[in-house]
Structure 1
Amino acid sequence: MDSNKRVILAVSLSLMVLLGWNYFFPPVTPLETDTQNVTAPSQTTAQAPEAGSQAAPAASSAPKVQFSPVSGQKLNVDTPLYHAVINTSGGVLESFVLKNYKETIAADSKNIDLVSAQSVTKAPMGLIWNSQPTWAQGEWTVQGGDMDLADGQTGAIQLVGTLGGVKVERSLIFTGGTYEIKEEVKITNTSPAQIQGNLAFSVSSGRLTAESDKYNHTKIAYMAAGSLKQEDSQKDLHLGVESSAPAQWGGIESNYFLLALVPTSADMTVRAKLEDDVYRLTVADQMLLDPGTTQLRTASYYFGPKTNKGLSGLPKNLKASINYGFFDIIAKPLNQFLHFLHGYVGNYGVAIIILTVIIKALFWPLSHKSYKSMEQMKKLQPMMAKIREKYADDREKMNAEIMQLYKTYKVNPAGGCLPMLLQIPVFFALYQALLGAIELRHAPFIPHLPFTDMVWLADLSAKDPYYITPLIMGATMFLQQRMSPPMGDPMQAKIMMFMPVIFTFLFLNFPSGLVVYWMVNNVLSIGQQWLMIRKSK
């Protein structure tokens, strides 16, 4: 097998492996997990490890504290972005409806509620003191009522409760125009003895993604020592996970939505657990209180979409939760440019096509060099066939003669593939950007099949319901392969013939925005190859 064939085969198999890996083991997270509906968080129950007075292993058992949603007064907080319901029995969040995001593309679809009835039983935004649920202990008093906040307006709810010899004072601060909720907690020792305690903030959520969705998982994420960690392993989360060092923030996330906790007074330990299909995460800090003394801890909550606008300006680099995997440094600018193009054309499908054309134009010289090298190789194929036939029983001599042939005609056997290798990071960065872009969620391209009322590409984050674009993509790949110089080795040629079939199978359930990108790129490549062939003739 000569060097050129080895490189071509390596590139092709690399593409297959990379796409296959993303299909069977989706990007970013190391292990697979089950999922639920991407458009509407599920409503199930779970328990995370509670924080105790002494640091405990993440996997240690914890009391299954529950919250009764019928107790306490319900306060409504309405802003331009969401409608929240806070229970005055400890300040538990009972509902958080996003006004700008629907469950489905149906006209009568409900808005997404990031807090479900069953996840409420695990008390999102509930405080835990020494493994005890503060919302279930003692009597709570409240200052403040329902709020209707315009953009930029701020309002607060004050909650005061007692737990043994400790007084807990919570101040929840809401601001119109942002998904951030700030909290200030004062813990006062009202007993005559010194108290050592552990204060934990918590969030909980049902699954944020569809069970059948291989490309969008519900994950636990946190940032510790400046490094983003993500986990979706069912096994690990059922046992419980814990940050190895104090973390800047922790959250429950999907590609599109985030429920996060950001300790702003100091970095705190993150613990998380999955139980009965509910994810629960806490951030905790130790306290030592002398009699009559008070200590202050602050935190911020974020319940909303993973958008640059929504996460910009939030503390502790929470914006880093938007991560596109290995090629993140390339994917983010591409995503921003895609959003820029959408501002002019008003259609993300059209914006994807324009972006693909621009990228193809930028790489035109490299692609031109690649095709030129492949055409040179094509002209050498008859001579290479004769050498193989002549030295069929002497592989060492055959390879030496083929290398001499390359040298005589000044052909680089890897010249057709090296330019392609340089383009792969950009192609896969755009792949990751399109896969994780919330802007494509429910974004229409061609809402109905032409001349029919059949819903087609009405959601670029969902698969093509009729598999039209994947089949066209596979056909373009087959045509592109037929236009390329034939492989000298019959076995390699047969392997390459299966590539369009394999890619078509992988793309059947891809988000349609990704398929459109890959299909357009293939069409442009075919056009470039045709021009090269015509010029050569």
Structure 2
Amino acid sequence: MEKNQATGLILISILLIAYFWFFADAPGPVVDETNDQTEQVESPESRDTSTLGNNDGSRAENLESDSLINESLKSKYGVFASAANGTSELITFNTDVIEITFDKKGGIISQLELKNFETYDGQPLVLAEESLDQQQLIVNAAVGAVDLYELNYELVEKPNSILKAGDTSRVVFKADFGNGRSIEQIYTLSGSHYEVGYELALNGFQNEIIGENFTLIWNKKMRKFEKDLTESRRKATINYYSVEDGMDYLSESADTDEEILTEPIQWFSFKQNFFNSALITDIPMQRAHAKVSQEGLSDEFVKDGEMKVEIALSEVKDKKGEFKFYYGPNNYKILQTVAADFEENIYLGWFPISLVNKYVIINVFHVLEKYISNYGIIIIILVFLIKLALSPLSYKSYVSMAKTKVLKPQLDEIKEKHGGDMQKAQAEQMQLYQKVGVNPLSGCIPLLLQMPILFAMFYFFPSSIELRQEAFLWANDLSTYDSIATLPFTIPFYGNHVSLFTILMTLSTLLITWSQGQVSSVQGPMKNIQYIMPVVFMFVLNSFAAALSFYYFVANIITYGQQALIRKMIDEDKIKQILEENKKKNVNKKTSKFQQRLQEAMKASEEAKKNKSKKSK
């Protein structure tokens, strides 16, 4: 309503009040009740008309107010104004795995709770909240940018409030603007899945929407769900996938990271250690801007995530553009069914470690999980199986060390013979190895072949949601550190707690190091350095998953048993006799090409050292 119209309406109201006040009939004469018992009936004309006048004024003011509101909505929302005036109204549905609440204001997911999970302190695990998941769906109209999630929608189709496994139903929101124009938002719920189907259609709009694209903005505050805030922040980021470049991500370790993505993407996720919230579609999402930050956040949150993408308007104009949300756990088997490379939301290490985890460890772990409910026992069995599979390599490595120990007196004689001339000493040692039939690298190769499996566990256990909140012995949660004592201070690189599994792992590693030293030829400073590394790992692993430390502890105990058994099987005197016989047989054997190249490399290295020493003088 314009200002002049409002002023005119107010003046008319004042004139009506004045008219009824001044030109109304005078009241009738007062009758003496003692002389005349006849009741005086008041004529309609004699009523006080000031009340009537005030009512008309109030009604006029309300009309004026409504008219002003309507004009304001039209100026802001244009053709969408008829759906802009409304209030929140929540509708909740339950499936086997989620409780989801929609808001008719916006036609959006207002809240989503994972029913089979809790936070570390026993609270409901709410993965989506309207106050923390701020979403905007922006189109360009004649009046400017309009957020379609600010409009009010009617619920035109809804399923039963409870969906069981196997059930699939739709929740349909619609805003009708007349002349065949409408907006539809359709959600598809499944009784046993964490995916929520989403379809968007803008029907009948011709020139009311301007441009070729619409914009989707999703700002998410990621709540803390786990006990360890530092680890939770280290694992939180935004992942995204493009057909050309595959899966990529923003930095997990940086306080703030952002990126402008030039290639279209097909999904993005706000990924935390054990859960993620994602949007997936076959429709290319273009000109994406991704950002994560942890600056200025309270301990209640791990990171802020911001995602902005543009989508072609033609994909939803007069047809249903298909999307889906994923709100659920980072379970490898589940994520494999969601979208291309969606399981990469779980980082299982670099190649070839990731291959070991994907095709060996995960499958064995899930087979054991079907028959055994105690995850501590599963880990013990897993160690036995892996050690059994690696036992041939362990045996070869141990025999190689035993051979080296038998040769140690002869190797020491060669060193004394040549004094400080390392080049000649190493050349003669290589000749000795060749004659007795010993490959000095044969002890290292089996260990190198075992390394991918050893390191695979380093990534597998901290990322396994199956271990989350699973107790074993004194550990309340195998997916995070076990703490038997909290320190009143913080030790750098160690923390303010004591993990008993980590201490046991360290002690058992020292035991293994000592046991291997009994058959090793390593002497001097290198022998002492062996005992430093387990202590270093005690600091590194103190805040890692208890399952990881427990695995290494059990593995060390079994390894010690293996070595004790192999030691009984190996006769060092017999090995010495075999080596001597080989030495006699190969006395005239020529140096192999490999050993020649090795000797040449050592010679070149020694000459380089001498030249460097001369230049420094």
Normalised by the size of structure 1, how large is the TM-score? Answer: 0.76
Task: Quote the residue 2:455 is aligned against.
Answer: 428
The match for 1:409 among 432, 436, 443 is 436
| CA deviation after TM superposition for structure 1 residue 288, in Å | 5.2
Task: Quote the residue 2:98 is aligned against.
Answer: 82
Task: Quote the residue 2:242 is aligned against.
Answer: 224
| CA deviation after TM superposition for structure 1 residue 176, in Å | 1.3
Structure possessing the higher radius of gyration over alpha carbons: 2
Task: Quote the residue 2:507 is aligned against.
Answer: 475
Report if aligned partners of 2:356, 2:453 keep a CA contact under 8 Å in 1: yes
Kindly tell me: are residues 235 and 373 of structure 1, through their superposed partners in 2, closer, same or farther at Cα, counting changes over 3 Å?
Answer: closer
Distance (Å, rounded) in 2 between the aligned partners of 1:162 and 1:129: 17
Q: Comparing 523-532 with 163-172, which one deviates more in the overlay?
A: 163-172
Q: Comparing 210-219 with 517-526, which one deviates more in the overlay?
A: 210-219
Distance (Å, rounded) in 2 between the aligned partners of 1:301 and 1:443: 28
Report if aligned partners of 2:401, 2:520 keep a CA contact under 8 Å in 1: no
Q: Does 1:143 align with 2:156?
A: yes
Kindly tell me: are residues 215 and 362 of structure 1, through their superposed partners in 2, closer, same or farther at Cα, counting changes over 3 Å?
Answer: farther
| CA deviation after TM superposition for structure 1 residue 335, in Å | 1.4
Task: Quote the residue 1:134 is aligned against.
Answer: 148
| CA deviation after TM superposition for structure 1 residue 254, in Å | 2.1
Mapping of residues 491-506 of structure 1, within 5 Å: 491-506=525-540
| AA of the residue aligned to 2:132 | S
| CA deviation after TM superposition for structure 1 residue 470, in Å | 1.1
The match for 2:467 among 410, 429, 440 is 440
| CA deviation after TM superposition for structure 1 residue 87, in Å | 1.4
Distance (Å, rounded) in 2 between the aligned partners of 1:289 and 1:395: 73
Mapping of residues 141-220 of structure 1, within 5 Å: 141-144=154-157, 147-161=161-175, 167-188=182-203, 190-192=205-207, 195-207=210-222, 210-213=228-231, 217-220=235-238
Kindly tell me: are residues 163 and 405 of structure 1, through their superposed partners in 2, closer, same or farther at Cα, counting changes over 3 Å?
Answer: farther
| AA of the residue aligned to 1:481 | T
Report if aligned partners of 1:196, 1:288 keep a CA contact under 8 Å in 2: no
Task: Quote the residue 1:9 is aligned against.
Answer: none
Q: Any idea what SS the aligned residue of 1:498 has? A: helix
Kindly tell me: are residues 429 and 462 of structure 1, through their superposed partners in 2, closer, same or farther at Cα, counting changes over 3 Å?
Answer: same
| CA deviation after TM superposition for structure 1 residue 143, in Å | 2.1
Distance (Å, rounded) in 1 between the aligned partners of 2:234 and 2:161: 35
Kindly tell me: are residues 79 and 186 of structure 1, through their superposed partners in 2, closer, same or farther at Cα, counting changes over 3 Å?
Answer: same
Distance (Å, rounded) in 2 between the aligned partners of 1:90 and 1:431: 44
Distance (Å, rounded) in 1 between the aligned partners of 2:233 and 2:514: 31
Report if aligned partners of 2:213, 2:310 keep a CA contact under 8 Å in 1: yes
Kindly tell me: are residues 480 and 139 of structure 1, through their superposed partners in 2, closer, same or farther at Cα, counting changes over 3 Å?
Answer: closer
Report if aligned partners of 1:203, 1:260 keep a CA contact under 8 Å in 2: no
Kindly tell me: are residues 189 and 427 of structure 1, through their superposed partners in 2, closer, same or farther at Cα, counting changes over 3 Å?
Answer: same
Q: Any idea what SS the aligned residue of 1:472 has? A: helix
Q: After superposition, what is the alpha-carbon deviation per residue over 1:293-312, rounded to whole angstroms, capped at 9, x for unaligned? A: 62431101010012245335
Mapping of residues 451-490 of structure 1, within 5 Å: 456-466=474-484, 467-484=499-516, 485-486=519-520, 488-490=522-524
Q: Comparing 275-284 with 215-224, which one deviates more in the overlay?
A: 275-284
Distance (Å, rounded) in 1 between the aligned partners of 2:566 and 2:152: 80
Report if aligned partners of 1:189, 1:289 keep a CA contact under 8 Å in 2: no
Q: After superposition, what is the alpha-carbon deviation per residue over 1:203-243, rounded to whole angstroms, capped at 9, x for unaligned? A: 443235543217951121111126111223576955x3243
| CA deviation after TM superposition for structure 1 residue 265, in Å | 4.2
Distance (Å, rounded) in 1 between the aligned partners of 2:341 and 2:171: 26
Distance (Å, rounded) in 2 between the aligned partners of 1:178 and 1:203: 22
| CA deviation after TM superposition for structure 1 residue 280, in Å | 2.8
Distance (Å, rounded) in 1 between the aligned partners of 2:533 and 2:343: 38
Report if aligned partners of 1:251, 1:281 keep a CA contact under 8 Å in 2: no
Kindly tell me: are residues 187 and 407 of structure 1, through their superposed partners in 2, closer, same or farther at Cα, counting changes over 3 Å?
Answer: same
| Aligned sequence identity (%) | 26
The match for 1:272 among 290, 309, 334 is 290
The match for 2:124 among 111, 119, 138 is 111
Q: Does 1:370 align with 2:384?
A: no
Report if aligned partners of 2:394, 2:447 keep a CA contact under 8 Å in 1: yes
Task: Quote the residue 1:39 is aligned against.
Answer: none
Distance (Å, rounded) in 1 between the aligned partners of 2:524 and 2:292: 52
| CA deviation after TM superposition for structure 1 residue 486, in Å | 4.3
Mapping of residues 297-446 of structure 1, within 5 Å: 297-326=321-350, 327-333=353-359, 334-446=361-473
Q: Does 1:251 align with 2:269?
A: yes
Report if aligned partners of 1:203, 1:259 keep a CA contact under 8 Å in 2: no
Query: What is the alpha-carbon root mean square deviation over aligned residues?
Result: 3.0
Distance (Å, rounded) in 1 between the aligned partners of 2:411 and 2:233: 44
Could you tell me which runs of 5 or more consecutive residues in structure 1 were left unpaired when the two chains were aligned.
1-69, 447-455
| AA of the residue aligned to 1:520 | V
Distance (Å, rounded) in 1 between the aligned partners of 2:165 and 2:425: 75
Task: Quote the residue 2:547 is aligned against.
Answer: 513
Report if aligned partners of 1:155, 1:175 keep a CA contact under 8 Å in 2: yes
| AA of the residue aligned to 1:330 | V
Kindly tell me: are residues 322 and 233 of structure 1, through their superposed partners in 2, closer, same or farther at Cα, counting changes over 3 Å?
Answer: closer
Report if aligned partners of 1:463, 1:511 keep a CA contact under 8 Å in 2: yes
Q: Any idea what SS the aligned residue of 2:192 has? A: coil
Q: Any idea what SS the aligned residue of 1:147 has? A: coil
| CA deviation after TM superposition for structure 1 residue 192, in Å | 4.2
| CA deviation after TM superposition for structure 1 residue 89, in Å | 1.3
Q: After superposition, what is the alpha-carbon deviation per residue over 1:376-407, rounded to whole angstroms, capped at 9, x for unaligned? A: 11122222223223323211111112212212
| AA of the residue aligned to 2:125 | I
In the alignment of these two chains, the number of paired residues is 450
Distance (Å, rounded) in 1 between the aligned partners of 2:253 and 2:138: 25
Q: Any idea what SS the aligned residue of 1:381 has? A: helix
Report if aligned partners of 2:170, 2:188 keep a CA contact under 8 Å in 1: yes
Q: Any idea what SS the aligned residue of 1:114 has? A: strand
| AA of the residue aligned to 1:375 | A
Distance (Å, rounded) in 2 between the aligned partners of 1:478 and 1:518: 12
Q: Any idea what SS the aligned residue of 2:320 has? A: strand
Structure number with the higher helix fraction is 2
Q: Any idea what SS the aligned residue of 2:230 has? A: coil
| CA deviation after TM superposition for structure 1 residue 427, in Å | 1.9
Q: Any idea what SS the aligned residue of 1:89 has? A: coil
| CA deviation after TM superposition for structure 1 residue 414, in Å | 1.0
Higher relative contact order (CA 8 A, sep 6+): 1
Task: Quote the residue 2:60 is aligned against.
Answer: none
| CA deviation after TM superposition for structure 1 residue 118, in Å | 4.1
| CA deviation after TM superposition for structure 1 residue 100, in Å | 0.4
Distance (Å, rounded) in 2 between the aligned partners of 1:289 and 1:423: 51
Q: After superposition, what is the alpha-carbon deviation per residue over 1:82-102, rounded to whole angstroms, capped at 9, x for unaligned? A: 111111111232211111011
Distance (Å, rounded) in 1 between the aligned partners of 2:199 and 2:130: 26
Kindly tell me: are residues 191 and 164 of structure 1, through their superposed partners in 2, closer, same or farther at Cα, counting changes over 3 Å?
Answer: farther
Could you tell me which runs of 5 or more consecutive residues in structure 2 were left unpaired when the two chains were aligned.
1-85, 298-302, 485-498, 572-617
Report if aligned partners of 1:119, 1:206 keep a CA contact under 8 Å in 2: yes
Normalised by the size of structure 2, how large is the TM-score? Answer: 0.67
Q: Any idea what SS the aligned residue of 2:262 has? A: coil
Distance (Å, rounded) in 2 between the aligned partners of 1:139 and 1:254: 32
